[in-house]
């Protein structure tokens, strides 16, 4: 999202923060249900983002469709978005999705930092589950299975997970919006971490780390990258030793396997 859309979303986030922060899971559910309608209705998307229409006309269309079907808070959020300028029709839906995820994160945040940590950990664990099992991937993306059935399966897979993670994984599986469910779950985790002003670091080590080792590693990486990180730890014995870290596009690789490969290349000339 760039240009006018990026500016509109940033302004909406700031203006709507009190509503989004207090709306809870009901607001998120309303926004997600609206997103489903938007994704299935091209004429509606175009109407809500048509720059030739006045803001009043766009919000009027929205309210005529959803009044009485959504909470007052959801209508206020959607009307705010409809009154802004968007570079492309998909950007409107992207903004709705991002604000819905923010509402879920804010719900978890009512438990404090621990609530956001828990939700981020749950999302990352679900992503790893999908990535590590081709059977699960097939089941969650089976085009022959009804969307609701796939959503039900996703909820069962999180076991005793929080209500927040259940809502987000169901949304990611039922309406991945052109992405793989694991990719969208990852995007949701990044958004939750972002509410903590943290970045997710993909950290791969050769053997499991204890709590104290993880804490020391986190402190070292925070200093190295100059930002607060949320570690997503994976174990890969083939690395032999050391650690590989990826934060966004930045990669630090000090694994024994990489050093061996570097040495082999140098020896080969």
Q: What is the pLDDT of residues 23-82, one digit of tens each?
A: 999 999 999 999 999 999 999 999 999 999 999 999 999 999 999 899 999 999 999 999
Treating both helix axes as pointing N-terminal to C-terminal, what angle do 72-82 and 89-109 enclose, rounded to 10 degrees?
Answer: 140
Are the C-beta atoms of 71 and 26 separated by less than 8 Å?
yes
Which pLDDT band holds residue 259 (cuts at 50, 70, 90)?
Answer: low
Three-class secondary structure of residue 50 per DSSP: coil
Residue-wise pLDDT for 99-117, tens only, equals 999 999 999 999 888 899 9
Distance of CA 52 to CAs 57, 61, 84, 90, Å?
A: 10, 14, 12, 17
Length of the chain: 269
Q: Are strands 229-235 and 250-253 parallel, antiparallel or unpaired?
A: unpaired
pTM: 0.84
pLDDT at 164 over 70: yes
Which tokens in the block code for residue 21?
A: 């922060």
Helix (H) or strand (E) holding 112: none
Instruction: Report phi then psi at 233, rounded to 5.
Output: -85, 135
Which pLDDT band holds residue 90 (cuts at 50, 70, 90)?
Answer: very high
Which pLDDT band holds residue 269 (cuts at 50, 70, 90)?
Answer: low
Which pLDDT band holds residue 188 (cuts at 50, 70, 90)?
Answer: very high
Distance CA 20, CA 24 (A): 7
Three-class secondary structure of residue 201 per DSSP: strand
Which pLDDT band holds residue 191 (cuts at 50, 70, 90)?
Answer: very high
pLDDT at 176 over 90: yes
pLDDT at 236 over 80: yes
For residue 262, what pLDDT is reported?
61
Q: What is the torsion angle, in degrees rounded to the nearest 10, for the CA atoms of residue 176, residue 177, residue 182 and residue 186?
A: -120
Averaged pLDDT score across all residues of the chain: 90
For residue 117, what pLDDT is reported?
93
Distance CA 179, CA 149 (A): 18
For residue 3, what pLDDT is reported?
81
pLDDT at 209 over 80: yes
For residue 9, what pLDDT is reported?
94
Are the C-beta atoms of 245 and 221 separated by less than 8 Å?
yes
For residue 253, what pLDDT is reported?
85
> Averaged over 227-238, what is the pLDDT?
87
For residue 137, what pLDDT is reported?
94
For residue 260, what pLDDT is reported?
54
For residue 261, what pLDDT is reported?
62
């Amino acid at each position: 999202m760039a240009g006018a859309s990026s500016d509109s979303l940033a302004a909406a986030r700031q203006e709507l923060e009190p509503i989004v922060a207090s709306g809870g899971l009901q607001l998120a559910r309303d926004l997600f249900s609206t997103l489903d309608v938007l994704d299935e209705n091209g004429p509606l998307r175009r109407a809500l983002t048509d720059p030739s229409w006045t803001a009043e006309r766009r919000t009027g269309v929205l309210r005529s469709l959803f009044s009485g079907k959504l909470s007052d808070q959801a209508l206020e959020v959607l009307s705010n978005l409809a009154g802004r300028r968007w570079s492309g029709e998909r950007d409107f839906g992207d903004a709705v999705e991002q604000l819905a995820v923010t509402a879920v994160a804010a719900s978890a945040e009512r438990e404090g930092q621990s609530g956001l940590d828990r939700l981020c950990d749950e999302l990352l664990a679900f992503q790893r589950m999908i990535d590590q099992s081709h059977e699960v991937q097939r089941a969650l993306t089976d085009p022959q299975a009804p969307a609701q059935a796939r959503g039900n399966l996703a909820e069962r897979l999180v076991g005793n997970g929080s209500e927040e993670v259940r809502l987000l994984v169901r949304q990611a599986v039922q309406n991945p919006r052109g992405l793989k469910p694991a990719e969208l779950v990852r995007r949701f985790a990044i958004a939750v971490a972002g509410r903590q002003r943290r970045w997710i670091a993909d950290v791969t080590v050769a053997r499991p780390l204890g709590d104290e080792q993880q804490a020391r590693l986190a402190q070292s990486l925070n200093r190295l990258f100059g930002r607060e990180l949320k570690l997503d730890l994976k174990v890969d014995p083939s690395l032999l030793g050391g650690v590989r870290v990826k934060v966004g596009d930045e990669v630090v690789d000090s694994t024994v396997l990489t050093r061996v490969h570097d040495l082999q290349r140098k020896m080969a000339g």
